[in-house]
Amino acid sequence: MRNFDLEEEKKKLEEELNFYKFQSGRQLDEVSTVDLHEEQILLDALLTAMFGKDETTSTANSFLEAHSGVEECQKLLKMWTSLKPLTQKVIALAADAKNLEKDKDHLTINLRRAEEEVNVLFEENNILNEENKRLIRLCHREKHISGSGGGSLSGKVSIVRSTSILSVGKRKSSPKLSSPVEKKIDFGNLDPQRQPLSPLQSNSPESRMHKK
């Protein structure tokens, strides 16, 4: 008899427990629905502050068309007229993220090219310094010879002859006899193989904020 009573009591407790579980689940679902709705409202307000309505539509649509080879983008493009404004704004945000990734790649390439040009300029500067030192030494040597004024006539003739050779050499010297600077630096051709810097996107979130 006691066992029967305990069984009945157990059934009642299980029924009450299931009832409370059901009630608790309904309340959680209601709270989750309210929270999700509020979350969507806040997200929509944030994206609206970042994007203009017309700009959002064109950016999102262009992004889906550019990536129509992706299955998800193709489906969203077919559903375009029925997409919620919030969905379009999220797509526009994804488009900007993709553009920022491209800008990052271009900046990396530009930085690498700039470093290479700095190294080239550094080497050219060293060559110019060495040539400058050589010319200064030559100038001092000629001044010293000229300052000895009372030298023999043959010495003066030698100076004149050296000067003539130098002036003629500047006009008619072959590439093999030219100075290190003339051999290594061509001022008439400033490295046509140097690549131009990569362009950056002009439709990033920051640029749009500045436009406003």
What does the pLDDT look like over 53-112, one tens digit per residue?
667 888 888 999 999 898 999 999 999 988 888 888 888 888 888 888 989 999 999 999
Q: By the 8 A CB rule, do 208 and 99 touch?
A: no
What per-residue string of b and e applies to 28-53 under the rule 16 or more CB within 10 Å gives b? eeeeeeeeeeeeeeeeeeebeeebee
Tokens read off for 85: 């404004």
On the CB side of 34, CA atoms within 13 Å amount to: 6
Residue 205 has pLDDT above 70, yes or no: no
pLDDT of residue 209: 46
State what percent of residues in the chain have pLDDT above 70. Answer: 50
Residue 175, classed as helix, strand or coil, is coil
DSSP assignment letter at 205: H
pLDDT of residue 90: 86
More confident residue, 190 or 73: 73
Q: Roughly what angle, to the nearest 10 degrees, separates helices 53-66 and 71-78?
A: 130
How far apart CA 28 and CA 156 sit, in angstroms, is 109
- CB contact set of 185 (below 8 Å; sequence gap of 6+): 124, 127, 128
Selection from 69-73, 117-121, 193-197 with the highest mean pLDDT = 117-121
pTM above 0.85, yes or no: no
CB atoms within 10 A of CB 9: 10
Residue 138, classed as helix, strand or coil, is helix
DSSP assignment letter at 192: T
How far apart CA 89 and CA 124 sit, in angstroms, is 52
- Burial class from Cβ neighbours inside 10 Å (0-12, 13-18, 19+) for residue 95 reads buried
Q: Roughly what angle, to the nearest 10 degrees, separates helices 153-172 and 85-147?
A: 160
Terminal-residue alpha carbon distance, the chain: 83
How far apart CA 46 and CA 156 sit, in angstroms, is 87
